[in-house]
Chains A and B, each alone.
Chain A
Amino acid sequence: MGRRMKVGFLAALAVALIVVAAAGASLTGKHATTTLVFGASADPVILDGPLVSDGESLRPISLIFQGLVSLKPGTTTIVPQLATSWTTSKNGLVWTFNLRNGVKFQDGTAFNAKAVCFNFNRWYNFPGPLQTDAVTYYWNTVFGGFAHPAQGSPGPDKSLYRSCKAVGSSQAVITLTRKSGGFLGALALSVFGMASPAALVKYQADAGTVTADGVFQPTGTFGTQHPIGTGPYMFKSWKIGDKLVLVKNPTYWGKPSDPPWSRSAKIDQLIFVPIPDNAARLQALQTGEIQGYDNVAPQDIATVRSNSGLKIVNRPPFNVAYVGINQSQPPFDKLAVRQALAYGLDRASVVNAFYAGRGQTTNQFLPPQLFGYAKSGVPDYPYNPTKAKQLLQSAGLTLPVKIDFWYPTNVSRPYMPDPSRNFQAFQASLENSGFKVVPHSAPWRPDYVATVQSGGAQVFLLGWTGDWGDPSNFLNVHFGSQTQEFGFNNPSLFALLKKADAETDIEKRTALYQQASVAVMKFLPVVPYVHSTPALAFKSNVKGFIASPVGLDPFWLATVS
């Protein structure tokens, strides 16, 4: 048996080597030039805008659906899209949108004012199981109320939206319950893209059952097989775990000569492949199995840059990392102590050391991209241990002052790639500045966020990535009302932010938010320290891709040469 076995074994080995060599012959890594394969970190949840809030769902949704307004590529500047112009009533409650003519949905039905009102009323009338933040986060955040609220859901009295009226086929009149300048910017979110009413009905977009676990299961096929909008791309096929395929919309209304946000697509086919692991996405890019992916890990940027066949595309910074302060926990109810903390944090050193050249030390909460960013008058708190100690003593405290400082583990966020290193550096600088830091950590999901947001953390590391191009999404969300996280009650700040949010004139709105930005830095509920620049990676032959600060990436502008 021995010789036979040996021969058999060697033969099997030879066959294996031949198989591998033959396999290699056909792995070219080349794709047709009319296709772009993009590595996503997960499958979309569902292709129905108002029912999602995750980036992987919103990416294809932003290509299939369009809203009344959009953003100039690479910026947060609002531009016309399905609405060509709009006016507001004197009291700021009535918004009249003049709609673009000649636009059809991908199923051939007409886009018109009735379709706009159908969509708005659909969202406003979502049934109970769809009313939680887990499902309709953005409707809840922007409009905050439903026509028929389930228990625990806000009702019409809380809703920003009152009604929609179609005036002819080309004018949609939306009435709000109160003034809101942020309303227009929020409409640029892909979640508020217009869907074909005929398709919503035919494919039963809102049909579903609720299990004994309370989970809503959609039973219609609109969001899984028939998502129909007006966008430059349309749905072709989706096999979960495998690929989502979009193809160029042959009846798209936009022309190649139109402004960039409305142009027709150049690449015929987009394929989104779910690859959860970051290292696997990088390797797939290197082999050519994909031609681009998002959220490049900081440690991989040098690898991409060193490969002449690959390139990095930067996403404009639209986030902020901060050291949060819970003022309900003494001694942080005293401004002098918060100021001492600010002077005791060596922010510039942390940014220089741990952001690989991709972080910008900041002096305020808003990113520079965003209108409302204050160019002057912002108090600065450069690292100054002596000043920090003086402030603590002036507050009547004996040094060192013990503080509980929290940081998350098992996570890398775009604004904070390495939380534990940030913490260690901050701990060292604070202990040099009259503080005694007691460290606390918890896994990001689910404990850390829960601890911070329920007011359990005294001082903590956290951050925020903006959802839409309006300062209210940064300042009002965090400081517009009392929260357990920050533990303060500042009626004048709340009033200023409310006034700023209600202002519809852009110049006045900008001035008010600049004022608010300065006010926040004087009051110091947080000490912001960096706006970081996330990165995408592409094959070098992918041209024309412009990354959006809010993830509204115009794939239709890209080409593959």
Chain B
Amino acid sequence: MLRFIVRRLLLLVPILLGLSILIFLWIRALPGGPAQALLGERATPQAVQQIRHQLGLDKPIYEQYWAYVRTTASGNLGISIASRRPVTTEIRERFPATIELTVAAMIFALSIGLPLGFYAAKRHGSAFDHLSLVGSLIGISIPIFFLAIILKYIFSVRLGWLPSIGRQDVLINADHPTGFYVLDGIVTGNWNAAWDAVKHLILPAIALGSIPLAIIARITRASALDVQNEDYVRTARAKGLSPGIVDRRHVMRNALLPVATIIGLQVGLLLGGAVLTETVFAIPGMGSWIAQAIFNRDYPVIQGGVLFLAIVFVFVNLIVDLSYGLLNPRIRVS
């Protein structure tokens, strides 16, 4: 197991090296640069040239890359051109928002998607099964930003039940030792703040979790359908085991293997890709930050942010791979 983990971690080196070259070259191939993004109509050719010179963008590309590798290798991801703050500081402040939103979205997706998929498989061919298929198709098809706007309109604007923006009511002065607002409220004993943070997560989590929910429901259904027709399941039933035990011990555990893969992929995608949800709900997370950086040609942010997310993605998938062993002893042994 340890060897497996070390091997996977060592893979990080070539992955990050390759990714850093790709990102470095790609963003510099994009037309324009930070000067035009910063100054707009005020970006005279002289100003552009001056800024390019200051940022070293007029140096040969290999010199720029070498300077970048040197600073990155020391753990310094550079300074954002737009905000003038260290990229590592921005990540430290923004990543908890993205994690919190991702976790909330996955809790929503799993708590509904898993039982929905299993029940649809158990009632294969029934009206519920057909409805769940249609529902998951709709869930996958609705654009997230559209769903987010509709949810906000109904539950915030019309009904006034839930907040529409941010992570916490601006009038609440709470301490945030960890950056995870719900956890911070609990840890500091500020239950009002914790509850308020939960309220702020509900709509974004539903919007962001709608597609994973649909995917998880469908994969679970398909996987459970396969497994429940296996010989060992029939044998278990023939032995007289109760349906509940058969489902829990034999069907679910084996059906969850492909689902675990999907969960890992979805978590990885959500961590880096919640751009639209973060934008619509004004949540200061990683996705909207990197998207804005691409727009602004903020090279240090794009380079540092994408590298960081790549590391996170590798770790998430490592955890998913390790979870296979938990679910299936045969994989653990092999």
Chains A and B bind each other: yes
Known: A9-B119, A133-B50, A283-B152. A463 touches B282 (CB 8 A): no
Q: Looking at the complex, which of B10-18, B78-86, B231-239 is the stretch in contact with chain A? A: B78-86
| Contact assessment for B42 and A133 in the assembled complex, using a CB-CB cutoff below 8 Å | yes
**Listed residue (A12, A21, A134) with the most chain B CB atoms within 10 angstroms of its CB:** A134
| Contact assessment for B161 and A446 in the assembled complex, using a CB-CB cutoff below 8 Å | no
A271 contacts which chain B residues (CB < 8 A)?
Answer: 170-171
A181 to B76, CA, bound (A): 47
A-B residue pairs in contact (CB < 8 Å), sample of 18: A2-B243, A6-B119, A21-B161, A24-B160, A152-B53, A153-B50, A211-B78, A211-B300, A213-B299, A214-B54, A241-B94, A271-B171, A277-B279, A284-B164, A287-B157, A289-B165, A446-B43, A447-B31
| Contact assessment for B55 and A29 in the assembled complex, using a CB-CB cutoff below 8 Å | no
Say yes or no for A520: interface residue by CB 8 A criterion: no
| Contact assessment for A45 and B152 in the assembled complex, using a CB-CB cutoff below 8 Å | no
Say yes or no for B272: interface residue by CB 8 A criterion: no
A469 to B332, CA, bound (A): 74
Say yes or no for A108: interface residue by CB 8 A criterion: no
Say yes or no for A5: interface residue by CB 8 A criterion: yes
Say yes or no for B71: interface residue by CB 8 A criterion: yes
Known: A27-B160, A243-B170. A462 touches B41 (CB 8 A): yes
Known: A134-B39, A241-B97, A241-B284. A287 touches B248 (CB 8 A): no
CB-nearest residue of chain A to B176: A239
B-side residues, CB < 8 A to A, are 31-45, 47-51, 53-56, 67-68, 70-71, 76, 78-86, 93-94, 97, 111-112, 115-116, 118-119, 122-123, 149, 152-153, 155-157, 159-171, 176, 195, 198-199, 202, 243-244, 246-248, 279-282, 284, 288, 292, 295-297, 299-300
| Contact assessment for B300 and A446 in the assembled complex, using a CB-CB cutoff below 8 Å | no
CB-nearest residue of chain B to A218: B84
B199 contacts which chain A residues (CB < 8 A)?
Answer: 23, 26-27
A414 to B232, CA, bound (A): 69
Q: Looking at the complex, which of A112-120, A381-389, A448-456 is the stretch in contact with chain B? A: A448-456
| Contact assessment for A20 and B76 in the assembled complex, using a CB-CB cutoff below 8 Å | no
| Contact assessment for B50 and A1 in the assembled complex, using a CB-CB cutoff below 8 Å | no
B31 contacts which chain A residues (CB < 8 A)?
Answer: 446-447, 450
Say yes or no for A369: interface residue by CB 8 A criterion: no
A451 to B36, CA, bound (A): 10
A214 to B297, CA, bound (A): 15
Min CB distance B50 to A, Å, is 5
Min CB distance B179 to A, Å, is 10
| Contact assessment for A287 and B50 in the assembled complex, using a CB-CB cutoff below 8 Å | no
| Contact assessment for A453 and B45 in the assembled complex, using a CB-CB cutoff below 8 Å | yes
A329-365: CB near B (< 8 Å → 1, else 0) gives 0000000000000000000000000000000000000
A70 to B267, CA, bound (A): 53
A464 contacts which chain B residues (CB < 8 A)?
Answer: 41
A239 to B166, CA, bound (A): 13
B115 contacts which chain A residues (CB < 8 A)?
Answer: 5, 8-9
Min CB distance B11 to A, Å, is 28
A132 contacts which chain B residues (CB < 8 A)?
Answer: 47, 50-51, 54
| Contact assessment for B47 and A133 in the assembled complex, using a CB-CB cutoff below 8 Å | yes
A209-249: CB near B (< 8 Å → 1, else 0) gives 00111111110000000000000000000011111000000
CB-nearest residue of chain A to B31: A447
Say yes or no for A201: interface residue by CB 8 A criterion: no
- Within 65-117 of A, Cβ neighbours of B (below 8 Å) are at none
Known: A1-B243, A215-B300, A276-B282. A454 touches B45 (CB 8 A): yes
Known: A53-B42, A287-B160, A453-B43. A213 touches B37 (CB 8 A): no
| Contact assessment for B165 and A284 in the assembled complex, using a CB-CB cutoff below 8 Å | yes
**Listed residue (A129, A279, A446, A464) with the most chain B CB atoms within 10 angstroms of its CB:** A446
A24 contacts which chain B residues (CB < 8 A)?
Answer: 155, 159-162
- Could you tell me the dominant secondary structure of chain A's interface residues? mixed
| Contact assessment for A212 and B68 in the assembled complex, using a CB-CB cutoff below 8 Å | yes
A454 to B195, CA, bound (A): 54
Known: A5-B115, A446-B31. A287 touches B164 (CB 8 A): yes
A27-39: CB near B (< 8 Å → 1, else 0) gives 1010110010100
A483 to B195, CA, bound (A): 58
A503 contacts which chain B residues (CB < 8 A)?
Answer: none
- Within 270-302 of A, Cβ neighbours of B (below 8 Å) are at 271, 273-277, 279-280, 283-284, 286-287, 289-290
- Within 447-491 of A, Cβ neighbours of B (below 8 Å) are at 447, 449-450, 453-454, 462-464, 483-484
| Contact assessment for A20 and B162 in the assembled complex, using a CB-CB cutoff below 8 Å | yes
| Contact assessment for B36 and A215 in the assembled complex, using a CB-CB cutoff below 8 Å | no
| Contact assessment for A216 and B56 in the assembled complex, using a CB-CB cutoff below 8 Å | no
B149 contacts which chain A residues (CB < 8 A)?
Answer: 279
B33 contacts which chain A residues (CB < 8 A)?
Answer: 446
A141 contacts which chain B residues (CB < 8 A)?
Answer: 42
B53 contacts which chain A residues (CB < 8 A)?
Answer: 151-152
B38 contacts which chain A residues (CB < 8 A)?
Answer: 134
Min CB distance A39 to B, Å, is 8
Contact with B78, one of A215, A283, A446, A449 (Cβ below 8 angstroms): A215
Say yes or no for A375: interface residue by CB 8 A criterion: no
B171 contacts which chain A residues (CB < 8 A)?
Answer: 31-32, 35, 271
Known: A274-B284, A279-B149, A289-B163. A215 touches B43 (CB 8 A): no
A218 contacts which chain B residues (CB < 8 A)?
Answer: 84
- Within 1-27 of A, Cβ neighbours of B (below 8 Å) are at 1-2, 4-6, 8-9, 12, 19-21, 23-24, 26-27
Say yes or no for A43: interface residue by CB 8 A criterion: yes
| Contact assessment for B43 and A449 in the assembled complex, using a CB-CB cutoff below 8 Å | yes
CB-nearest residue of chain B to A245: B170
| Contact assessment for A1 and B244 in the assembled complex, using a CB-CB cutoff below 8 Å | yes
**Listed residue (A32, A243, A462) with the most chain B CB atoms within 10 angstroms of its CB:** A243
Say yes or no for A161: interface residue by CB 8 A criterion: no
| Contact assessment for A5 and B202 in the assembled complex, using a CB-CB cutoff below 8 Å | no
Say yes or no for A543: interface residue by CB 8 A criterion: no
| Contact assessment for B153 and A242 in the assembled complex, using a CB-CB cutoff below 8 Å | no
Known: A1-B243, A216-B84, A276-B292. A134 touches B161 (CB 8 A): no
| Contact assessment for A449 and B36 in the assembled complex, using a CB-CB cutoff below 8 Å | yes
| Contact assessment for A212 and B70 in the assembled complex, using a CB-CB cutoff below 8 Å | yes
